[in-house]
Every structure is written in structure tokens, then in C-alpha cells.
Amino acid sequence: MTNTLTGSCLCGQVAFTIDGGLEMAGHCHCSMCRRWHGAPCGSYAKVIDPASFKFTAGQDQYKIYASSEKGRRGFCGNCGSSLTGEEDGRVTWITLTAIHGDPGVQPMAHIYVGSKASWETINDGLPQFEEYPQ
């Protein structure tokens, strides 16, 4: 895949590009993702080449929230949009919601369904996993 993906936050101050494509897209229903996204789930994909993630605007507005010992969540400090997951200082996960247009991947599964919100019904037919699939 050689297409360059572009993405941004809601206010547009933080913008980025990714080369090399995405993989392993899915919906996470854990309580942290739900609160972070303000939604029934967070939808993410893995960045195949983390070194290809580049800011094109607003890196100074890009903030990190450490939601757990290893979990690093990047967001826009101005509008609050959920943007990335980082590991070892590199962007390894991207929220599908931040990508402009077709991200080139389709969600394959729902994870952490065991802790989903009681008011959410999942009925799209994708596989559902109680936690993270091993």
C-alpha cells in the first residue's frame, strides 16, 4: 500500500500523515476507550510503519494522557479529539475517526465486549471477544 493517509482532530489544529497503511482494525469497548472517546467504543487500527507517522500541523497542541502503565493516548489539547495510541514514544495505533476518507481497512472484530456499556447492543455480525483476543 503506497497511499498516504491524512488525518486530523475536530478543530483541525493537529494534522498528520501516515504512509504504509493500517492493519488490524477493530472496535474496543473497554471502559477507558469509552470514556476517552465519549462513545460506546473506540475504533482503531494498527499503524504498520510507526516511523511513517508525521505531523503536518499542530504538534504543539498534541497532548499525551497516560491511561495506564503502558497506555499512552494522544489527543488534541484544543478540541479534545482522540487521536493515537503510543508505545515507546511511537504512534502505533490510530483512531479510525481521525482519518480523512477511506482508511483502507475495515474493522474485523469487537474487543473487550465483556466490559461494554449495558446500554449498547452490538449487531453488526463481526466477531466479539470478551477481552483482547490471544
Nearer of residues 36 and 105 to Zn ion, judged by Cβ: 36
Shortest distance, position 2 Cβ to Zn ion, whole Å: 28
Nearer of residues 20 and 61 to Zn ion, judged by Cβ: 61
Cell of 39: 462513545
Give the long-range contacts of residues 74-80, CB within 8 A, separation 24 or more: 75/9, 75/36, 76/9, 76/10, 76/11, 76/13, 76/14, 78/9, 78/11, 78/13, 78/14, 79/9, 79/10, 79/11, 79/13, 80/10
Shortest distance, position 88 Cβ to Zn ion, whole Å: 19
Q: How far apart are CA 54 and CA 72, in angstroms?
A: 17
Nearer of residues 1 and 66 to Zn ion, judged by Cβ: 66
Shortest distance, position 13 Cβ to Zn ion, whole Å: 5
Nearer of residues 34 and 50 to Zn ion, judged by Cβ: 34
Rule CB under 5 A: which residues touch Zn ion? 9, 11, 13, 28, 30, 33, 76, 78-79
